[in-house]
Amino acid sequence: MGREIKFSLVFRDMWQSAGKYQPRVDQLVRIAPVIIKMGCFDRVETNGGGFEQVNLLYGENPNISVREWTKPFHEAGIQTHMLDRALNGLRMSPCAKDLRQLFYKVKKAQGTDITRIFCGLNDPRNVIPSIGYAKEAGMIAQAALCITHSPLHTVEYYVNLAKQFIDAGADEICLKDMAGIGRPVTLGQIVAGIKAIKPDIVVEYHSHSGPGFSVASILEVCKNGCDYVDVAMSPLSWGTGHADVIAVQEMLKDAGFKVKEINMEAYMEARTMIQEMMDDFLGYYCPSLNRIDNSLLVKPGLPGGMMGSLMTDLEDNLASLNKWKAKNGQEPLTTDQLLVKLFDEVAYVWPKVGYPCLVTPFSQYVKNLALMNVIQMEKGKERWSMIADTIWDMILGKAGQLPGPVDPELVALAKSQGREFLTTDPQANYPDCLDEFRAKMKENGWELGQDDEELFEYAMHPSQYEAYKSGKAKADFEADLAKRKAEKNAPAAAAMPSTITVSLGGQTYRLEVAYGDTAPATGSAAAAAPAPAGAGEDIPAPISGKFFLTNGNSESPKKVGDSVKRGDTLCYIEAMKTYNAICADFDGVITEICCKNGDSVDEDDVILKIARNS
């Protein structure tokens, strides 16, 4: 019998790669003993990445979830691991140093053994501090190489990167093939190169199956010294997810490796439970296209973990775009047509923004930039006409060094807007923040929590945490779920109007309409705000999303009566995990703000009114 290969069940990523949400804590605790009973896993990915934001979005405390979820695995001697984003911690935007340090202390105290640290830019300045913070907290620091396929990302590039992480104290190395586009032989050569540097370093391979390379890649990395392989299980294996443990186990057995046997009775029990979770509510957020392999993904290289939310986002953007097309006498696009246009535009945009690895948050940034380009060009506007500030931060080097040069066209655009390129340490751009959040929690009468975990949660996810504490997050989620269930159960209702406009006493109101027993969604701009009145020009939302007056605590919100200059930021629309600044097109005075923070808006909804200066 040959060398042993061990399996890690990427339970969190299975769900993130399939759709938008994660199971509730009661579901997680119920399935944990069955996963343990399967007997084939030495590790389980329990949390990290989007896991905690998702909990907050439907009104559940993620700190309780992590503690309850990791406990049974610890008792069974199975290691738990999580995914973290280095400079970004558990969110899309960069974190302060004191928050990053608290992050690892909290996660260790909650029961997470291993942290998989990655930076989408593969910038050692972002990863190496997290290696130190994790080890100081007593966690196993697994440094990830974000795998992609470009002229810059060679075997030598990755082996040299691994050496820097090993020299900095990384306990393990992960090949994070998040889009599954790593070529099998190349991946094997990378593993061999790492093992040549340090033969006893633990190497784990993570891949998504969508493009079709994953099983061949698993075999190649194992032949070259890989120790752990990430796998999934039915009904969430394959597609934009991961290879199924059954297929991987049989393949490796045939190749002469030692692998653990699978308790198939437990496998089928767990499979049934996962399907029940999907039938309960999670399946309403799992687009069918994510359940199939698609070699079209080789070209754009978009990661499996993002495809879960991408297809849901695409539905909303397609509806908004087609509404505009209908208004302007144009033929609508199908989902497939928009998807192909998006994939082609990602392939066009990616080298122009310096070949960042397409993994969170940079995959979202590149995808969002490409999608905005497609939408704007479909409307006859220029490419690059809408670039969010966070995307500019990536282009300008604020979050780290891009692997390649930025296209001269974008360099010129940045200079024309007075934007500067940065080469400083990314952490220096984000000052400490915990004292500020402690003061806010005291003001609100909120407890810091066991091991300061509530402080951590608030500082890591401010807007989501506030929505969770107020109950708005749960109400919005339940309204959205009720809407999806109603649409599935009564497809014909989708063709009926969801809003109507009425006039009362000279004031115009837009009202949401519900059919049957379904209550209208609450918290949307349509229900909350009257249509604009008074002097001034309408400022419509250029995209669908959630309305916010500010993007962070350092900004002061605009208010009625404020004077604005052309180019001033008026507000933000959060769409596809990115805050998009809405800027004034002319000088004037704000006469009306038509939405409240957190309101959902559709494209072309009026969000403000501004009286133009004469």
pLDDT in tens, 190-199: 999 999 999 9
More confident residue, 156 or 544: 156
Query: Is the pLDDT confidence value at 59 over 50?
Result: yes
Determine the residue type at 482: A
Cβ neighbours of residue 429 under 8 Å, at least 6 residues apart?
94, 398, 422
CB distance 484 to 493 below 8 Å = no
Distances (CA, A) of 29 to 46, 76, 321, 591: 11, 14, 42, 52
CB distance 56 to 461 below 8 Å = yes
The angle subtended at Cα 121 by Cα 344 and Cα 392, nearest 5°, is 70
Alpha carbons within 13 A on the beta-carbon side of 131: 22
- What confidence score (pLDDT) does residue 499 get? 52
- In which band, very low, low, confident or very high, does the pLDDT at 241 lie, cut at 50, 70 and 90? very high
Topology annotation, domain 523-612: OB fold (Dihydrolipoamide Acetyltransferase, E2P) (2.40.50)
Alpha carbons within 13 A on the beta-carbon side of 249: 19
What is the second-level CATH architecture of the domain 1-470? Alpha-Beta Barrel (3.20)
Distances (CA, A) of 22 to 171, 283, 331, 593: 29, 10, 37, 35
176-185 pLDDT, tens digit each: 999 899 999 9
DSSP state of 407: P
- In which band, very low, low, confident or very high, does the pLDDT at 529 lie, cut at 50, 70 and 90? very low
- CATH 3.20.20.70 residue ranges for the chain: 1-470
- What confidence score (pLDDT) does residue 498 get? 52
Distances (CA, A) of 550 to 101, 144, 251, 323, 559: 26, 33, 52, 28, 11
- CATH 2.40.50.100 residue ranges for the chain: 523-612
- What confidence score (pLDDT) does residue 49 get? 78
- The mean pLDDT value for 61-66 works out to 94
More confident residue, 265 or 361: 265
Q: What is the mean pLDDT of the chain?
A: 88
443-481 pLDDT, tens digit each: 999 999 999 999 999 999 998 999 999 998 899 889 989
CA-nearest of 75, 77, 54, 70 to 107 is 70
- In which band, very low, low, confident or very high, does the pLDDT at 550 lie, cut at 50, 70 and 90? confident
- In which band, very low, low, confident or very high, does the pLDDT at 516 lie, cut at 50, 70 and 90? very low
**What is the helix (H) or strand (E) element at residue 350, kind and residue range?**
helix 335-352
* Rounded Cα–Cα distance for residues 153 and 486 (Å): 47
* Rounded Cα–Cα distance for residues 465 and 477 (Å): 14
- What confidence score (pLDDT) does residue 509 get? 46
- In which band, very low, low, confident or very high, does the pLDDT at 312 lie, cut at 50, 70 and 90? low
Cβ neighbours of residue 486 under 8 Å, at least 6 residues apart?
493, 515, 516, 518
Query: Is the pLDDT confidence value at 279 over 60?
Result: yes
Query: Is the pLDDT confidence value at 77 over 90?
Result: yes
- The mean pLDDT value for 289-307 works out to 72
